[in-house]
């Protein structure tokens, strides 16, 4: 007898422009044992009646900042993985920023053990290769790092220990780091912004007249991102190793990526819901709460990003979930350049993308690709994750497409939920009905049902 059967639901489409089809999932030992026609009788210890609901492969958020064990007032692996579960996200990839930075095998292993004991969903952990120490890089890879991450910007003043081995601004050191990462077979992600240009434009922005909220974008115009991205692509092509460009925010960077992909460059690209849904004008209302690096930009950038998503130039939608406390954000009113950069978002990823599918603006099959299948493929988790088929992990997002919901930041599970000023008040179609991780229901009916440790530490399987 199976552990769980999910019956009466509509399963995610298996081809572009196809409709969801009725079916039954039989789950045993944390995996999908069979995908059955709806009329076939099943016996299971538990039956989940998904009448009227969509059953999707679990969402994978590949860009996540918890920072644990540092800054527990902002969030920890427990609170932020609860937020992921409530948002229908079954796997998160945690960045290496912490105190100290996860740039050694020892620190990486300590974070892994901490995450494993607190996680309500699966967690993959990035390592930072910027020490240029082959032993440490190979050690993190062997221990199960999901990938590596580097910033091409300097560490934030006063936070140097959080970025040791993560911030590498010299192109010769970036080249060496990529050579070392190439030998592990893993992908390296880059926060791509040019530090010298940031310094120049920030100095200019401080002297500008006009509303304070405009200064953030003026300090980081699109050339800051595009110059860094083009340089990284050139290095990666020379070394012949894959790289990932997170949080792409500008039309000019999209153009660079499009041309690079056309000539066969081994690059993947990601953008975030905040770049797709807003322009810099939102900062007039929410001020420092909307400060994110790279910045939210102009309408032409927003439109170019949507076009890149539709074309497949953008591979993944992820959140760059980065909670802070309201006190930290509030202190920067009138001086947005001093505000900490980041915004919570993991609870909104699935609802926002499903809203696009249910409205007909994006094909549901493509939405599943963007938030589940492609992340799994790019980071070596496919076919264990990102697909509904026999043998895959039973990580599932069950979505109610019928209801309409207004996002209320006070309902959030993230410890930084009160900083959710971007999405607060947005009306969307549908809501997450349940989240299942490894065959166990961890969220259902608006409540966390699981326990700390229900999530597993994930590592590339191929």
pLDDT string in tens for the chain (462-residue length): 999 999 999 999 999 999 999 999 999 999 999 999 999 999 999 999 999 999 999 999 999 999 999 999 999 999 999 999 999 999 999 999 999 999 999 999 999 999 999 999 999 999 999 999 999 999 999 999 999 999 999 998 888 999 999 999 999 999 999 999 999 999 999 999 999 999 999 999 999 999 999 999 999 999 999 999 999 999 999 999 999 999 999 999 999 999 999 999 999 999 999 999 999 999 999 999 999 999 999 999 999 999 999 999 999 999 999 999 999 999 999 999 999 999 999 999 999 999 999 999 999 999 999 999 999 999 999 999 999 999 999 999 999 999 999 999 999 999 999 999 999 999 999 999 999 999 999 999 999 998 999 999 999 996
Residues in the chain: 462
CA dihedral in degrees (219, 223, 229, 235; nearest 10)?
-110
Q: How many C-alpha atoms does 210 have within 13 Å on its Cβ side?
A: 10
* pTM tops 0.85: yes
Q: Enumerate the H helices of 294-429 as residue ranges.
A: 299-311, 326-330, 349-358, 364-368, 374-378
Give the pLDDT of residue 157: 86
With contact defined as beta carbons under 8 Å apart, do 160 and 118 qualify?
A: no
pLDDT at site 156: 85
Contact partners, residue 396, CB within 8 Å, separation at least 6: 6, 25, 55, 56, 57, 58, 90, 388, 434, 435, 436
| The token pair that represents 318 in the structure block | 């992820």
- The CB-based long-range contact list for 171-177 (8 Å cut-off, 24+ gap) reads 171/231, 171/235, 173/130, 173/132, 174/150, 174/232, 174/235, 175/235, 175/238, 175/239, 176/132, 177/129, 177/130, 177/132, 177/148, 177/150
Cα of first residue to Cα of last residue in the chain, in angstroms, is 31
Considering the domain 2-55+389-448 in this protein, what is its CATH number?
2.30.40.10
Q: How far apart are CA 300 and CA 223, in angstroms?
A: 15
In CATH, 58-378 is 3.20.20.140:
yes
pLDDT of residue 194: 98
Q: Are 428 and 353 in contact (CB under 8 A)?
A: no
Closest CA to 162 of 218, 109, 102: 102
Token digits of residue 61: 């958020």
Q: What is the pLDDT of residue 462?
A: 67
Query: How far from 77 is each of 115, 117, 384, 424, 456, CA to CA, in Å?
Result: 6, 9, 23, 23, 12
Q: Print burial letters for 342-354: b (CB count within 10 Å at least 16), e (below 16).
A: bbbbbbbbbbbbb
pLDDT of 331 reads 98
pLDDT at 452: 97
Q: What is the DSSP string of 328-339?
A: HHHTTTT-GGGS
CB under 8 Å to 423, separation ≥6 — which residues? 273, 345, 348, 352, 407, 409
Query: How far apart (Å, rounded) are the C-alpha atoms in residues 203 and 8?
Result: 60
Cα R_g (the chain), whole angstroms: 21
Specify burial of residue 411 (Cβ count, 10 A radius: 0-12, 13-18, 19+): middle
Q: Where are the domains of the chain?
A: 2-55+389-448, 58-378
| Backbone angles phi and psi of 408, in degrees to 5 | -125, 115
Per-residue confidence (pLDDT) for residue 161, from 0 to 100 = 93
Instruction: Report the pLDDT value the prediction gives residue 352, as an integer from 0 to 100.
Output: 98
Please give the Cα distance from 73 to 77 (Å, whole number): 12
**SS3 at position 123:** strand
C-alpha angle 413-388-26 in degrees, rounded to nearest 5: 90
Cis check for the bond before 23: say yes or no (omega within 30 of 0): no
């Amino acid at each position: 007898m199976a552990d769980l059967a999910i019956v009466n639901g509509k399963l995610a489409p298996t081809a572009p422009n196809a409709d969801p089809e009725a079916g039954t999932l039989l789950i045993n030992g944390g995996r999908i044992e069979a995908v059955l026609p709806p009329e076939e009788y099943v016996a299971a210890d538990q039956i989940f009646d998904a009448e009227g609901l969509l059953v999707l492969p679990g969402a994978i958020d590949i860009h996540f900042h918890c920072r644990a064990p540092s800054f527990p007032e902002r969030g920890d692996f427990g609170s932020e993985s609860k937020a992921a579960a409530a948002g229908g996200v079954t796997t998160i990839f945690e960045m290496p920023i912490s105190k100290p930075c996860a740039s050694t095998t020892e620190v990486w292993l300590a974070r892994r053990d901490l995450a494993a004991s607190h996680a309500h969903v699966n967690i993959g952990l990035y390592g930072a290769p910027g020490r240029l120490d082959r032993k440490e890089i190979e050690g993190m890879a062997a221990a199960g790092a999901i990938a590596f991450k580097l910033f091409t910007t300097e560490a934030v003043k006063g936070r140097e220990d959080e970025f040791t081995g993560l911030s590498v601004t010299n192109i010769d050191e970036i080249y060496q780091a990529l050579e070392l990462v190439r030998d592990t077979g893993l992908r390296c992600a880059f926060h791509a912004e040019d530090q010298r240009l940031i310094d120049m434009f920030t100095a200019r922005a401080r002297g500008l007249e006009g509303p304070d909220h405009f200064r953030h974008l003026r300090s980081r115009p699109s050339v800051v991102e595009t110059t860094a991205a083009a340089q990284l692509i050139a290095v990666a092509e020379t070394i012949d190793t894959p790289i990932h460009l997170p949080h792409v925010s500008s039309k000019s960077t999209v153009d660079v990526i499009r041309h690079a992909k056309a000539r066969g460059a081994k690059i993947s690209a990601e953008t975030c819901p905040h770049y797709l849904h807003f322009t810099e004008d939102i900062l007039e209302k929410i001020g420092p709460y909307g400060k994110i690096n790279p910045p939210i930009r102009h309408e032409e950038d927003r439109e170019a990003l949507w076009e890149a998503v539709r074309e497949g130039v953008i591979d993944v939608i992820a959140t760059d979930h980065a909670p802070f406390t309201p006190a930290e954000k509030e202190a920067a009113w009138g001086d947005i350049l001093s505000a900490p950069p980041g915004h919570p978002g993991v609870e909104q990823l699935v609802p926002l993308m499903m809203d696009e599918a249910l409205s007909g603006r994006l094909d549901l099959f493509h939405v599943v690709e963007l938030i589940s299948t492609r992340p799994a493929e790019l980071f070596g988790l496919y076919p264990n994750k990102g697909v509904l088929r026999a043998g895959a992990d039973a990580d599932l997002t069950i979505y109610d497409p019928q209801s309409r919901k207004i996002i209320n930041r006070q309902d959030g599970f993230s410890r930084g939920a009160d900083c959710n000023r971007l999405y607060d008040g947005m009306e969307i179609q549908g809501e997450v009905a349940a989240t299942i991780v490894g065959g166990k229901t961890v969220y259902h009916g608006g409540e966390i049902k699981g326990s700390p440790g229900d999530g597993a530490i994930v590592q590339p399987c191929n």
